[in-house]
Amino acid sequence: AQKITQTQPGMFVQEKEAVTLDCTYDTSDPSYGLFWYKQPSSGEMIFLIYQGSYDQQNATEGRYSLNFQKARKSANLVISASQLGDSAMYFCAMRESTSYGKLTFGQGTILTVHP
């Protein structure tokens, strides 16, 4: 069964607008972590944001915030005030507490920011 699902193969947003990238997950582990990574065309993996399953508040890092809805098992990434440099592939990933730190990745969403 797919543990991490990103249903949006591609998304478009106008510069300076906000955009939400969807991620749903499936786990029976009560303790887990959710991550978002950015992969620009150059190929490197850039860590953006982390949310722990017991965190009471949604994580925020600058223009990135994670809309964590535990009951719905969703962990959507919100990028505010999009910039041209945000154009990239975005991956959602999950780490379960019993997994020795191993990450399970979704298929990714390609974000294109239009000027």
| 92's tokens | 């959602």
Query: Of 19 and 106, which has the nearer Cβ to another protein?
Result: 106
- Among 13, 108, 111, 113, indicate the residue that binds another protein (CB under 8 A): 108
Alpha-carbon distance of 46 to 8, in angstroms, equals 20
Q: Which of 34, 81, 80 is nearest to 54 (CA)?
A: 34
One of 18, 45, 81, 84 touching another protein (CB under 8 A): 45
Q: Is 64 in the site for another protein (CB under 8 A)?
A: no
Asked if residue 103 lies in contact with residue 35, where contact means CB atoms within 8 angstroms, the answer is yes
- In the complex, which residues of this chain contact another protein (CB under 8 A)? 4, 33, 35, 37, 43-45, 47, 50, 91, 93, 95, 97, 99-108
